[in-house]
A and B are shown apart, each in its own frame.
Chain A
Amino acid sequence: MTRGAAPDRSEGSRTTKIGGGLNEIGGKQEEERRSLLSSVATELVLLVIAVAFFVVAFSFEYVEQPGRLGPAFWPQVICVGIGVCSLASIAQKVRARGRPAARRAPIEIEGMDGVEEEHPVIWSRLVTVISLVLAYPVGAIFLGYPIATALLLIAFMYLGGQRRWYVIPLGVFGSLLFTYVFGKVVYVAVPTGVGVFDQLTVILYQLLGVY
C-alpha cells in the first residue's frame, strides 16, 4: 500500500527501503527538497535580514530637510542589493537542482585553482573553541582580566591538545605578562572583575606595580 509523498524524512526513507515506484520517487523528492532548503539556508537568512533592515530603516528619527536624501536611503539601497543577490543565488541553486556540484561554487581567484587545502572540521572541537572564546569575555567581566586570561590560556592549550603540566605555569605567566604590558605600558584599563575578584585583581596590580 502506498503512502503517498512522505511527510517526513524517516517515513520517506522507510518507504523507499520497502520499495515501490511512487514511494521511492516521493522519498527522493523529499530528500531533494530538504537538500535544496539546506543549500539555500544562508540566502534565506540574508533575505530575512535584508527585509528586516529595510523595514527598520523607515523608523530612523531625524529632522527632515526638503530636497535631501535621508539616513534611510543608503542602507535601504544596500538591503535591496542583498535581497536581489539572495534571490539570484536561490534561483541559481533551484535551477541547478539535482546537480550537487553546482550548488556551491568555490571562491576561485585567478591562478589559485586547487591551491587551498581544506581540512575537515571536528565539530566537538568547534563547539569547544567557540565556548572558550565566548566564555573569555564573560570570565573577564566577573573574574577580572588576569584570572580569566590565565584560565583561558590553560584551557585553550590543554583542550587544544597540549596536555602537559607546563601549560599551567605558561598560562599564569602569559596572563601576568599581558596584564603588566597592557596595564603599565599600553595603559588599557582591562576589566578587574566583581566582588572578591575585583579585590584580587587590585592586589595583583599592586604587586605588579601597575597601580
Chain B
Amino acid sequence: MESLIGTIEAIGSMSLYLWVLVIVGVLAGLLVGVLPGLTFVMGVLLLVPFTYSMGPEAALVLLVALYVAGTYGGALTSILIKIPGEPNNVPLLWDGYTMTRQGRAAEALGWAATAALVGGLAAWALLTFAARPFASVALNLAAPEYFAIVMLGLASVLLLAEKSLIPAVSAMLVGMLVATVGVHETTGAVRYDFGVPILRDGVDYLIVMIGVYALGEVITRFSENFSGGANQEVGSVRTTVPGLRALRQRSGSFLRGTLMGSVMGTVPGAGATVASFVSYNLEKRFGKFKDDVGKGSPNGIIGPQAASTATVGGALIPLLVLGIPGSAAAAVLLGVFLLHNVQPGPRIFVEQSELVYTIFGALLISLFLMFAVGILAARPLIRLLSVPEVYISAFVVLFAFIGAFSLRQSISDVWIMTAFGIIGFFMQRWDYPIAPLVLGAILGPLAENYFLTAMISSANDWTVFFTRPISGPLMAILIALTVWLVYRSFRINRPRAAEEEESG
C-alpha cells in the first residue's frame, strides 16, 4: 500500500518537464515500434546519450515510457499491413492481419490496444505491490545467494536455446570473457588490456549492446538491401475498443498473457518476444477459443500483446530489487541508473524511494498515453512506413556512434562498438544467438564479484553456496536445470541425427 501511495504522490508532484518527457518517450516508443529495423531495445539504447545531461528521474522516465510503448507500436503495422515492427509482434500477424483481411481491422486494433493496456496495468500492479516486499526479503540476501540468483539468470537464457545449447553457451561465455577486460575490482590487477589504455577501464556492456543490436542490425539490413522492408500505405485506419461483455468473454486470454509476460519479464534474456510467442502457443493449445486461433481470433492478439507489454513491469522487478536486469531494455536502464550513480538493489526502496515511485508513476502514465495515442493516432503512425529504411538506418549509425562515444568521450569506444557491430552481424549469419552474449557481458561481472566476495567471507570454503538456507536450494535448482538442459539438448539432437543417418 505504501508503494501505491508513494506512486500517487509521485504522479501528483511530477513536473511539467517530466510529463513532456513521458509524452516524448511514448511517441518515440510507438515510432520505433512501428518502424521495422528499429527495435524498442535499440530505441532505448539510442536515446541514452540524450539523457546524460538529465537527472536520473528524467532519464529513467523517458526511457521507461519508450520501453513500454515500444512493445505495442509494432502491433499496428502487424495487424494492418502484415509488417511486424518488432519481433514480439510477429504472432499478431496470424490473427491480426487475418482479421484485417476479413474487414475487422478496427476490432483487431482495439483488442491489441486493450490487451497492451490490461497486460501493462496488471504487470504495473505486480511491480507496485510486490517489488517492495521482495526488496525486504532481498535485504537479507548475501553474496552466495546473489551469486546463485545471477547464475540462475545466466542459465535461464539457455533454456530458450533448444537445439543449439552449445552456441548459446559459447556466446554467453564470450560475453563474460569480454566483461573481464579492465581493472579487477577485488585485486586491482589489469586484465587483458593488451597495452591499449581504454581497455584498462573495461568494456562497457552498453557499448557491446549498441554494437550488436544497433550497428549489427544496420549492417545486416544494408547488406540484405533492406529486403522485406515496408513501403506500403493503408487506406482508412479506425479502432474500435471492445465492450465489457466481450472483455469478460476473453478474460482467460488476458490472464494467461499477463501472467506469462510478467513471469517472462523477470527471466533475464527472455523478454517480450519469447513471452509473446509462448502466449500465442498457450492460446492455441489451451484457450477457450483455441480452434479459432490462427483464423482471425481476437485471442491470438490478446495473449501475445498482453504478454509483450506485461514483460516491462516484470523486467523492472529484478532490476529494481536485485540490480539484475530482466530484459535487454532493462539492462540499458541499469546502465542509466549506474551512469547517474544510482545503484539499483533492495536499498533503493529506502534510500531513493522517490525515484522508484516516479518510475512506477511514469510507467502507469505511459500505459494510458500509449493506449490513447494507439487508438487515436494509428493512421499517422502507419504513414511513417513510407519513409525508406535506408534513411532510418543512416541515422541509427549516427546514434550508435554518439552513444558509444559519449560514454567515455573516447573514439576507442566507437571502435569497440564497431567491432561488436561486425561481430553481431556474423553471429546472426552463423546462428550464434546475441542475447546470451549480451547477458554474459552484463551478468558476468556481477557473478564474479559475488563469487569472490562469498569465497573471501567464507575463507575459500566453496560449500558456502550449498549450505546456506536460500543459496543451497537455488544452487540445487541451478544444477538440476543445467543437467536437464544438457539432457534436453542431447535428446532433441539425437533423433534428428538418427533420422539423418537413416536417410543418408
Stretch of A4-12, A14-22, A77-85 on the interface side: A77-85
Contact of A188 with B160 in the complex, beta carbons under 8 Å: no
Interface status of B481 (Cβ within 8 A of chain A): no
Interface status of B237 (Cβ within 8 A of chain A): no
- Interface residues on chain A, number (Cβ under 8 Å): 81
Interface string of A48-84 (1 = CB under 8 A from B): 0000010011001111010111111011001101100
Measured between beta carbons, the chain A residues less than 8 angstroms from B455 are 68-69
Measured between beta carbons, the chain A residues less than 8 angstroms from B170 are 46, 82, 85-86, 89
A113 to B432, CA, bound (A): 16
Measured between beta carbons, the chain B residues less than 8 angstroms from A190 are 402, 405
A5 to B405, CA, bound (A): 54
Contact of A104 with B430 in the complex, beta carbons under 8 Å: yes
Contact of B173 with A85 in the complex, beta carbons under 8 Å: yes
Interface status of B184 (Cβ within 8 A of chain A): yes
Q: Could you tell me which residues of chain B, from 403 to 460, have a CB within 8 Å of some CB in chain A?
A: 405-406, 409, 411, 414-415, 418, 421-422, 425, 429-433, 444, 448, 451-452, 455-456, 459-460
Cβ 8 A contact of B421, one of A92, A133, A157: A133
Contact of B460 with A68 in the complex, beta carbons under 8 Å: yes
Interface status of B31 (Cβ within 8 A of chain A): no
Query: A46's closest neighbor in chain B, by CB?
Result: B170
* CB contacts between A and B, total, < 8 Å: 227
Cβ 8 A contact of A136, one of B393, B397, B456: B397
Stretch of B101-109, B215-223, B469-477 on the interface side: B215-223
Stretch of B131-139, B174-182, B328-336 on the interface side: B174-182
Query: How far does the Cβ of B297 sit from chain A's closest Cβ, in whole Å?
Result: 17
Stretch of A27-35, A123-131, A200-208 on the interface side: A123-131
Contact of B274 with A187 in the complex, beta carbons under 8 Å: no
**How extensive is the interface on chain B, given as a class?**
35 or more
Contact of A42 with B161 in the complex, beta carbons under 8 Å: no
The verdict on A186 contacting B406 (CB below 8 Å), with A104-B431, A191-B411 known, is yes
Measured between beta carbons, the chain A residues less than 8 angstroms from B504 are 98-99
Measured between beta carbons, the chain B residues less than 8 angstroms from A109 are 160-162, 273-274, 277
> Can you list the 8 inter-chain pairs with the closest CB atoms, starting with the nearest?
A160-B390, A62-B189, A111-B277, A126-B223, A71-B189, A129-B222, A71-B184, A119-B227
- Seen from chain B, the residues whose Cβ lies within 8 Å of a Cβ on chain A are 49-50, 52-53, 90, 160-164, 166-170, 173-174, 176-177, 180, 184, 186-192, 215, 218-220, 222-228, 273-274, 277-278, 280-281, 388, 390-391, 393-395, 397-398, 401-402, 405-406, 409, 411, 414-415, 418, 421-422, 425, 429-433, 444, 448, 451-452, 455-456, 459-460, 493, 496-497, 500-501, 504
The contact sample of 23 A-B pairs, CB cut-off 8 A, is A56-B192, A67-B459, A68-B456, A71-B191, A78-B177, A81-B169, A89-B166, A105-B163, A110-B277, A110-B281, A111-B277, A112-B273, A115-B277, A133-B218, A137-B415, A149-B398, A152-B394, A153-B398, A156-B390, A170-B391, A174-B395, A185-B50, A188-B402
